[in-house]
Amino acid sequence: MGLILFIGLIGLLNVINTIYTNIYTRKNEIGIQRAIGMSKSGLYKTFLWEGAYYGIIAGIIGAIAGYICTIFVDAAVMDQLRLSAPPVLPIIQATVVTIAACMIATCFPLNQIAKLSIVDSIETVE
């Protein structure tokens, strides 16, 4: 159980880091979008949907990879390869947690960037 939680935490941190880095590297793009007339609410909607898509895709890939790993661990323990019923409830819980983490990881950096003036966000030197 502890190993599963540790691996899940690593995966969750990976997803959060990916989203956080994605938004910060697109700071210039966000400034340009605001300069051509995108409202802050439109900006939030765009990036929150993107965060939700990342969470859904990560949840699906994680569910498939986790189920395959479960089959192989069971095969190693029992010395025979057999398919078992997928753990639907834990998969749904993990997917919901992943989507929530993606949404939260999207809000924090986006809130900081949205507070910058349009000129400051366009003229950033990376």
pLDDT digits (tens, 9 = 90+) for 55-103: 888 888 888 888 888 888 888 888 888 887 888 888 888 888 888 888 8
In a domain, 34, yes or no: no
Predicted confidence at residue 51, as pLDDT, reads 85
- The confidence band for 30, taking pLDDT boundaries of 50, 70 and 90, is confident
Q: Do 43 and 89 form a contact (C-beta atoms < 8 A)?
A: no
Cβ-count burial of 41 within 10 angstroms (0-12 exposed, 13-18 middle, 19+ buried)?
exposed
- The confidence band for 126, taking pLDDT boundaries of 50, 70 and 90, is low
In a domain, 33, yes or no: no
How many domains does one find in the chain?
1
1 alpha carbon, distance to own chain's centre: 23
In a domain, 21, yes or no: no
Predicted confidence at residue 124, as pLDDT, reads 55
Q: Do 30 and 113 form a contact (C-beta atoms < 8 A)?
A: yes
Domain around 97: 40-118
In a domain, 89, yes or no: yes
In a domain, 13, yes or no: no
